[in-house]
Amino acid sequence: MKKTGLLVRLLILASAAFLLQAGVMAAYSHEVWIEVSEAVVNEKVELRAVVSWGHFGDQTDPADPADYRLFVRRPDGEESVVELTGSEDSLRGSLEPVGKGEYIFTAIREPSIYSPAGGPATLSVQTAKKAYLYPEKGRAADPSGVAFEIIPKQDIRRFKGGIFEGMVVLEGGPVAGAVVQVIGSDGHTAEKDVTDSDGRFAVDITRSGRWLLKANLRSEKPGKLEGAAYGATSHTATLLLDLGDDEMEVAHRDGHAHDHGHAHTHAHDRQGTAVHEPAPWEGRLSTAVVFVAGLLVGGAGVLAFAGWKRNNRSAA
Protein backbone atom coordinates (compact mmCIF):
# COMPACT_ATOMS: atom_id res chain seq x y z
CA MET A 1 0.00 0.00 0.00
CA LYS A 2 2.86 2.37 0.75
CA LYS A 3 4.27 1.82 -2.74
CA THR A 4 0.81 2.42 -4.25
CA GLY A 5 0.42 5.67 -2.31
CA LEU A 6 3.82 6.83 -3.49
CA LEU A 7 2.95 6.13 -7.13
CA VAL A 8 -0.32 8.06 -6.83
CA ARG A 9 1.49 11.03 -5.27
CA LEU A 10 4.05 10.98 -8.09
CA LEU A 11 1.25 11.00 -10.67
CA ILE A 12 -0.40 13.98 -8.98
CA LEU A 13 2.90 15.88 -8.83
CA ALA A 14 3.59 15.17 -12.51
CA SER A 15 0.15 16.48 -13.45
CA ALA A 16 0.63 19.63 -11.36
CA ALA A 17 4.04 20.25 -12.92
CA PHE A 18 2.60 19.90 -16.42
CA LEU A 19 -0.23 22.35 -15.74
CA LEU A 20 2.16 24.79 -14.09
CA GLN A 21 4.42 24.65 -17.12
CA ALA A 22 1.43 25.35 -19.40
CA GLY A 23 0.56 28.36 -17.27
CA VAL A 24 4.13 29.67 -17.40
CA MET A 25 4.24 29.29 -21.17
CA ALA A 26 1.00 31.26 -21.49
CA ALA A 27 2.37 34.00 -19.26
CA TYR A 28 5.04 34.88 -21.82
CA SER A 29 2.41 35.92 -24.40
CA HIS A 30 1.68 39.22 -22.65
CA GLU A 31 1.26 42.30 -24.80
CA VAL A 32 0.74 46.06 -24.43
CA TRP A 33 -2.18 47.83 -26.09
CA ILE A 34 -3.68 51.34 -26.13
CA GLU A 35 -7.32 52.43 -26.14
CA VAL A 36 -8.36 56.04 -26.76
CA SER A 37 -11.69 57.73 -26.10
CA GLU A 38 -13.15 61.23 -25.81
CA ALA A 39 -14.45 62.81 -22.62
CA VAL A 40 -15.84 66.23 -21.74
CA VAL A 41 -14.34 67.82 -18.62
CA ASN A 42 -15.41 71.33 -17.60
CA GLU A 43 -16.96 71.80 -21.04
CA LYS A 44 -13.67 70.93 -22.73
CA VAL A 45 -12.89 67.83 -24.79
CA GLU A 46 -10.13 65.52 -23.61
CA LEU A 47 -8.57 62.57 -25.39
CA ARG A 48 -8.04 59.82 -22.83
CA ALA A 49 -5.51 57.08 -23.49
CA VAL A 50 -5.50 53.85 -21.49
CA VAL A 51 -2.37 51.69 -21.65
CA SER A 52 -2.95 48.08 -20.62
CA TRP A 53 -0.61 45.10 -20.11
CA GLY A 54 -1.71 41.48 -20.10
CA HIS A 55 -3.74 39.27 -22.44
CA PHE A 56 -6.06 41.26 -24.69
CA GLY A 57 -9.71 40.37 -24.14
CA ASP A 58 -8.77 37.97 -21.35
CA GLN A 59 -6.97 39.63 -18.46
CA THR A 60 -4.99 42.73 -17.58
CA ASP A 61 -2.16 42.69 -15.08
CA PRO A 62 -1.00 45.55 -12.82
CA ALA A 63 1.41 47.92 -14.54
CA ASP A 64 3.90 50.33 -13.01
CA PRO A 65 3.92 53.81 -14.65
CA ALA A 66 7.71 53.86 -14.26
CA ASP A 67 7.96 50.96 -16.75
CA TYR A 68 6.10 52.73 -19.57
CA ARG A 69 6.40 55.81 -21.75
CA LEU A 70 3.48 57.24 -23.73
CA PHE A 71 3.96 59.65 -26.62
CA VAL A 72 1.48 61.43 -28.86
CA ARG A 73 2.06 62.92 -32.29
CA ARG A 74 -0.41 65.70 -33.02
CA PRO A 75 -1.84 66.61 -36.44
CA ASP A 76 0.74 69.43 -36.82
CA GLY A 77 3.57 66.92 -36.44
CA GLU A 78 4.53 67.96 -32.90
CA GLU A 79 5.33 65.08 -30.57
CA SER A 80 5.08 65.22 -26.80
CA VAL A 81 5.11 62.97 -23.75
CA VAL A 82 1.79 62.13 -22.08
CA GLU A 83 2.07 61.67 -18.32
CA LEU A 84 0.77 58.33 -17.08
CA THR A 85 -0.87 57.62 -13.75
CA GLY A 86 -1.36 54.13 -12.36
CA SER A 87 -4.47 52.17 -11.50
CA GLU A 88 -5.16 48.57 -10.56
CA ASP A 89 -4.99 47.15 -14.06
CA SER A 90 -4.15 49.98 -16.49
CA LEU A 91 -2.32 53.27 -16.92
CA ARG A 92 -4.09 56.45 -17.94
CA GLY A 93 -3.09 59.69 -19.60
CA SER A 94 -5.09 62.54 -21.10
CA LEU A 95 -4.59 65.63 -23.25
CA GLU A 96 -6.64 68.40 -24.75
CA PRO A 97 -6.70 68.25 -28.58
CA VAL A 98 -5.30 71.39 -30.20
CA GLY A 99 -6.98 70.86 -33.55
CA LYS A 100 -8.71 68.39 -35.80
CA GLY A 101 -6.69 65.60 -37.35
CA GLU A 102 -4.84 62.41 -36.57
CA TYR A 103 -3.39 61.85 -33.10
CA ILE A 104 -1.04 58.87 -32.98
CA PHE A 105 -0.41 57.46 -29.51
CA THR A 106 2.61 55.21 -28.99
CA ALA A 107 3.44 53.31 -25.80
CA ILE A 108 6.84 51.79 -25.10
CA ARG A 109 7.43 49.32 -22.30
CA GLU A 110 10.89 49.29 -20.80
CA PRO A 111 12.85 46.32 -22.20
CA SER A 112 13.09 43.35 -19.86
CA ILE A 113 14.58 39.85 -19.85
CA TYR A 114 12.57 36.69 -19.35
CA SER A 115 13.51 33.00 -19.51
CA PRO A 116 11.02 30.86 -21.46
CA ALA A 117 10.83 27.17 -20.60
CA GLY A 118 13.47 25.30 -22.57
CA GLY A 119 14.80 28.46 -24.23
CA PRO A 120 17.56 31.00 -23.74
CA ALA A 121 17.13 34.20 -21.76
CA THR A 122 15.27 36.58 -24.08
CA LEU A 123 15.13 40.36 -24.32
CA SER A 124 11.50 41.48 -24.65
CA VAL A 125 10.85 44.78 -26.46
CA GLN A 126 7.15 45.77 -26.44
CA THR A 127 5.44 48.68 -28.19
CA ALA A 128 1.84 49.61 -28.93
CA LYS A 129 0.16 52.08 -31.28
CA LYS A 130 -3.30 53.59 -31.52
CA ALA A 131 -4.42 56.28 -33.96
CA TYR A 132 -7.32 58.57 -33.18
CA LEU A 133 -8.69 61.01 -35.74
CA TYR A 134 -10.38 63.75 -33.77
CA PRO A 135 -13.33 63.93 -33.99
CA GLU A 136 -13.26 60.52 -35.74
CA LYS A 137 -11.23 57.36 -35.35
CA GLY A 138 -7.85 57.41 -37.08
CA ARG A 139 -6.16 55.46 -39.82
CA ALA A 140 -2.62 54.89 -38.41
CA ALA A 141 -1.21 54.71 -41.94
CA ASP A 142 1.96 56.66 -41.15
CA PRO A 143 4.91 55.25 -39.21
CA SER A 144 5.11 56.40 -35.62
CA GLY A 145 8.89 56.18 -35.52
CA VAL A 146 9.33 53.30 -33.05
CA ALA A 147 11.80 50.55 -33.91
CA PHE A 148 9.19 47.84 -34.56
CA GLU A 149 5.61 48.55 -35.64
CA ILE A 150 2.60 47.63 -37.76
CA ILE A 151 1.68 49.97 -40.62
CA PRO A 152 -1.80 49.33 -42.11
CA LYS A 153 -2.41 49.61 -45.82
CA GLN A 154 -6.08 50.49 -45.33
CA ASP A 155 -7.61 53.60 -43.85
CA ILE A 156 -8.88 52.31 -40.49
CA ARG A 157 -11.76 54.79 -40.58
CA ARG A 158 -13.20 53.08 -43.64
CA PHE A 159 -12.30 49.47 -42.88
CA LYS A 160 -15.44 47.52 -42.01
CA GLY A 161 -14.12 43.99 -42.19
CA GLY A 162 -12.65 41.55 -44.68
CA ILE A 163 -9.03 41.30 -45.78
CA PHE A 164 -6.83 43.60 -43.74
CA GLU A 165 -3.41 44.24 -45.25
CA GLY A 166 -0.38 45.95 -43.84
CA MET A 167 3.36 45.94 -43.35
CA VAL A 168 5.63 45.21 -40.40
CA VAL A 169 8.81 47.29 -40.19
CA LEU A 170 11.93 47.02 -38.06
CA GLU A 171 14.25 50.01 -37.78
CA GLY A 172 12.37 51.71 -40.60
CA GLY A 173 12.55 48.85 -43.11
CA PRO A 174 10.19 45.96 -43.98
CA VAL A 175 10.97 42.70 -42.22
CA ALA A 176 10.21 39.12 -43.25
CA GLY A 177 9.19 36.31 -40.92
CA ALA A 178 7.20 38.38 -38.42
CA VAL A 179 4.15 36.52 -37.09
CA VAL A 180 1.01 38.66 -37.23
CA GLN A 181 -1.98 37.58 -35.15
CA VAL A 182 -5.51 38.91 -34.86
CA ILE A 183 -6.74 38.59 -31.28
CA GLY A 184 -10.46 38.98 -30.63
CA SER A 185 -12.24 40.58 -27.70
CA ASP A 186 -12.69 37.05 -26.29
CA GLY A 187 -8.91 36.74 -25.97
CA HIS A 188 -8.52 34.06 -28.65
CA THR A 189 -6.41 34.25 -31.81
CA ALA A 190 -8.72 34.32 -34.83
CA GLU A 191 -6.23 34.79 -37.67
CA LYS A 192 -2.50 34.47 -38.25
CA ASP A 193 -0.09 35.28 -41.06
CA VAL A 194 3.66 35.58 -41.54
CA THR A 195 5.17 38.59 -43.33
CA ASP A 196 6.80 38.03 -46.71
CA SER A 197 10.10 39.43 -47.98
CA ASP A 198 8.48 42.86 -48.35
CA GLY A 199 7.16 42.82 -44.80
CA ARG A 200 3.57 42.44 -46.02
CA PHE A 201 0.79 40.50 -44.35
CA ALA A 202 -2.91 39.89 -44.98
CA VAL A 203 -5.42 38.66 -42.40
CA ASP A 204 -9.12 38.04 -42.74
CA ILE A 205 -11.26 39.76 -40.09
CA THR A 206 -14.71 38.29 -40.54
CA ARG A 207 -16.57 39.91 -37.67
CA SER A 208 -16.94 43.39 -36.29
CA GLY A 209 -15.86 44.28 -32.77
CA ARG A 210 -12.55 45.07 -31.10
CA TRP A 211 -9.52 43.33 -32.55
CA LEU A 212 -5.85 43.55 -31.64
CA LEU A 213 -3.27 43.16 -34.38
CA LYS A 214 -0.14 41.74 -32.80
CA ALA A 215 3.17 41.30 -34.61
CA ASN A 216 6.10 39.37 -33.14
CA LEU A 217 9.60 38.87 -34.46
CA ARG A 218 12.12 36.70 -32.65
CA SER A 219 15.80 36.71 -33.51
CA GLU A 220 18.79 34.89 -32.04
CA LYS A 221 20.48 38.17 -31.26
CA PRO A 222 22.44 38.05 -27.99
CA GLY A 223 23.42 41.00 -25.85
CA LYS A 224 23.31 42.47 -22.37
CA LEU A 225 20.79 44.61 -20.52
CA GLU A 226 22.11 46.36 -17.43
CA GLY A 227 24.78 43.68 -17.09
CA ALA A 228 22.40 40.74 -17.55
CA ALA A 229 23.10 38.58 -20.61
CA TYR A 230 20.43 37.32 -23.02
CA GLY A 231 20.64 34.99 -25.99
CA ALA A 232 17.66 36.10 -28.12
CA THR A 233 15.50 39.16 -28.79
CA SER A 234 11.71 39.26 -29.10
CA HIS A 235 10.07 42.33 -30.66
CA THR A 236 6.30 42.74 -30.20
CA ALA A 237 4.06 45.50 -31.55
CA THR A 238 0.27 45.94 -31.37
CA LEU A 239 -2.36 48.02 -33.10
CA LEU A 240 -5.96 48.14 -31.88
CA LEU A 241 -8.85 48.05 -34.38
CA ASP A 242 -12.42 48.90 -33.40
CA LEU A 243 -14.98 47.77 -35.97
CA GLY A 244 -18.09 48.54 -33.94
CA ASP A 245 -20.83 46.18 -32.75
CA ASP A 246 -19.48 42.77 -31.67
CA GLU A 247 -22.66 41.02 -32.83
CA MET A 248 -22.45 42.08 -36.48
CA GLU A 249 -20.79 39.72 -38.93
CA VAL A 250 -18.92 40.78 -42.06
CA ALA A 251 -18.26 38.91 -45.31
CA HIS A 252 -15.48 36.35 -45.48
CA ARG A 253 -12.98 36.37 -48.38
CA ASP A 254 -15.14 33.78 -50.20
CA GLY A 255 -18.27 35.92 -49.88
CA HIS A 256 -19.87 33.92 -47.06
CA ALA A 257 -20.56 35.06 -43.52
CA HIS A 258 -18.84 33.10 -40.78
CA ASP A 259 -19.57 32.90 -37.07
CA HIS A 260 -16.39 33.21 -35.02
CA GLY A 261 -17.84 31.93 -31.79
CA HIS A 262 -14.77 29.72 -31.57
CA ALA A 263 -11.15 30.58 -32.28
CA HIS A 264 -9.37 29.64 -35.48
CA THR A 265 -5.90 30.26 -36.77
CA HIS A 266 -5.20 30.62 -40.47
CA ALA A 267 -1.94 30.84 -42.39
CA HIS A 268 -2.35 32.60 -45.73
CA ASP A 269 -0.26 32.22 -48.81
CA ARG A 270 0.07 35.17 -51.17
CA GLN A 271 -2.73 33.84 -53.39
CA GLY A 272 -5.18 34.20 -50.53
CA THR A 273 -5.60 30.50 -49.72
CA ALA A 274 -6.39 29.89 -46.08
CA VAL A 275 -5.01 26.83 -44.33
CA HIS A 276 -6.59 25.98 -41.01
CA GLU A 277 -4.24 25.45 -38.06
CA PRO A 278 -5.15 24.87 -34.43
CA ALA A 279 -4.90 27.98 -32.29
CA PRO A 280 -2.14 27.80 -29.63
CA TRP A 281 -4.61 27.58 -26.76
CA GLU A 282 -6.41 24.70 -28.48
CA GLY A 283 -3.17 22.76 -28.72
CA ARG A 284 -2.32 23.34 -25.06
CA LEU A 285 -5.84 22.36 -24.00
CA SER A 286 -5.92 19.14 -26.02
CA THR A 287 -2.43 18.18 -24.79
CA ALA A 288 -3.46 18.83 -21.20
CA VAL A 289 -6.64 16.74 -21.59
CA VAL A 290 -4.74 13.81 -23.10
CA PHE A 291 -2.03 14.05 -20.45
CA VAL A 292 -4.46 14.17 -17.52
CA ALA A 293 -6.57 11.38 -19.02
CA GLY A 294 -3.43 9.25 -19.32
CA LEU A 295 -2.59 9.93 -15.69
CA LEU A 296 -6.08 8.93 -14.58
CA VAL A 297 -6.01 5.71 -16.60
CA GLY A 298 -2.50 4.91 -15.40
CA GLY A 299 -3.46 5.64 -11.79
CA ALA A 300 -6.54 3.44 -12.07
CA GLY A 301 -4.35 0.66 -13.48
CA VAL A 302 -1.88 0.97 -10.60
CA LEU A 303 -4.70 0.82 -8.03
CA ALA A 304 -6.34 -2.16 -9.79
CA PHE A 305 -3.06 -4.03 -9.90
CA ALA A 306 -2.41 -3.30 -6.22
CA GLY A 307 -5.91 -4.53 -5.32
CA TRP A 308 -5.49 -7.70 -7.37
CA LYS A 309 -2.15 -8.41 -5.75
CA ARG A 310 -3.55 -7.82 -2.28
CA ASN A 311 -6.49 -10.15 -2.95
CA ASN A 312 -4.15 -12.88 -4.21
CA ARG A 313 -2.08 -12.58 -1.03
CA SER A 314 -5.24 -12.86 1.11
CA ALA A 315 -6.36 -15.90 -0.83
CA ALA A 316 -2.98 -17.51 -0.34
Asked if residue 308 belongs to a domain, the reply is no
Residues of the chain with pLDDT > 90, as a percent, come to 50
Question: At residue 16, does pLDDT exceed 80?
Answer: no
Asked if residue 298 belongs to a domain, the reply is no
Asked if residue 22 belongs to a domain, the reply is yes
Asked if residue 195 belongs to a domain, the reply is yes
Asked if residue 312 belongs to a domain, the reply is no
CATH code for position 99: 2.60.40.1930
Domain residues for 153? 2-291
Instruction: Please name the residues in contact with 271: beta carbons below 8 A apart, sequence gap of 6 or more.
Output: none
Q: Give SS3 for 168.
A: strand
Residue scoring higher pLDDT (299 or 203): 203
Asked if residue 194 belongs to a domain, the reply is yes
Least confident of 5-9, 71-75, 203-207: 5-9
pLDDT, the chain, mean:
77
Instruction: Please name the residues in contact with 34: beta carbons below 8 A apart, sequence gap of 6 or more.
Output: 49, 50, 51, 52, 70, 105, 106, 107, 128, 129, 130, 238, 240
Asked if residue 153 belongs to a domain, the reply is yes
Residue 139 pLDDT class (50, 70, 90 cuts)? low
pLDDT recorded at residue 143? 79
Domain count along the chain: 1
pLDDT tens string 79-127: 999 999 987 778 999 999 988 888 999 999 999 999 988 789 999 999 9
Asked if residue 305 belongs to a domain, the reply is no
238 closest CA partner among 179, 195, 197, 281: 179
pLDDT recorded at residue 284? 45
Mean local confidence (pLDDT), 260-286:
39
